[in-house]
Amino acid sequence: MRAAWRFIFTWHIHPREKIMNGNELTRRGFIKLMGSAGLATAFLTPSLLAAPLDKRDDMEPFHWARLKFTLTEKALDEWNVYPWADELLLDMLQKYTSLNVDRDWHVASLDKLEEMVQYPFIFMTSENKFNFAGVKRRNFKEYLERGGFIYADDCVIGRTGDKFFLDLREKVERLFGKKMVRLPNDHQIYRSFYKLDGLPYPQGKNHGGWALFLNGRMALFSTPTDIHCGWASLKLSMEGGNGWFPKKMNYDSIKMGINIVVYAMTH
């Protein structure tokens, strides 16, 4: 299993300071897996070169996981909406970066820390308020404090709604006793691989991207604009259907997803 990452999160073996130091070293090493961030200045062009497959086979794979949790109110789209959109993003990561990507769709339950700590990067999405009591709160906090990264995207029904985004912010700020901050449009997360002019806006409410920083490290990034549905829209259009958003927005959403992964694993 994810041997190169396991020492980052195995709490009962290493004291916290060694875990954090190990995490920083591993993230720096991850830069070598990605190659130069200047590799891709455009998207879906012949000039983008992927690393040779024989070289990738020697790299520890990047593993993606979706966070499983329950809601306090019924919603059409819950934690597991459109897993095939995640899979498209992973395909693009494999194709247009030098990353060795595990393209399986993994699940980590919020009430099982031993599952969460298998993954240095976890994605969560929904469209409503979620349960965050007891062990769920403790696991969320400990996962981030150990060096894990969570990307949370609000799944929007229609062109309004930000319940999940606002609920997450409120819960996280109360949990850590500090405010999340809105990132400026020139923040490095928007330029870590592709150059974007801030957060893409497929739909929803355009509050911008918000982050939680712990000891100077971004531990959580949250978006209210349904970036995930941009991935799904591109997938539908690629299969001959009608995407929900304009072509450029679909591609910008994929670029943003790649930027988030690259930023999370190199900072």
Domains of the chain: 3-266 (3.40.50.12140)
Report which secondary-structure segment, H or E, holds 29: helix 16-34
Q: Give the model's pLDDT for residue 15.
A: 25
Q: Give the model's pLDDT for residue 105.
A: 87
Question: Could you read off the pLDDT of 188-210 as tens digits, one per residue?
Answer: 999 999 999 999 999 999 999 99
Query: Other CB atoms closer than 10 Å to residue 224's CB: what's the count?
Result: 27
Q: Give the model's pLDDT for residue 55.
A: 61
Question: Could you read off the pLDDT of 119-175 as tens digits, one per residue?
Answer: 999 999 988 888 899 999 999 999 999 999 999 999 987 555 798 999 999 999 999
Residues with pLDDT less than 50, the chain = 1-54
Is the pTM here over 0.85, yes or no?
no
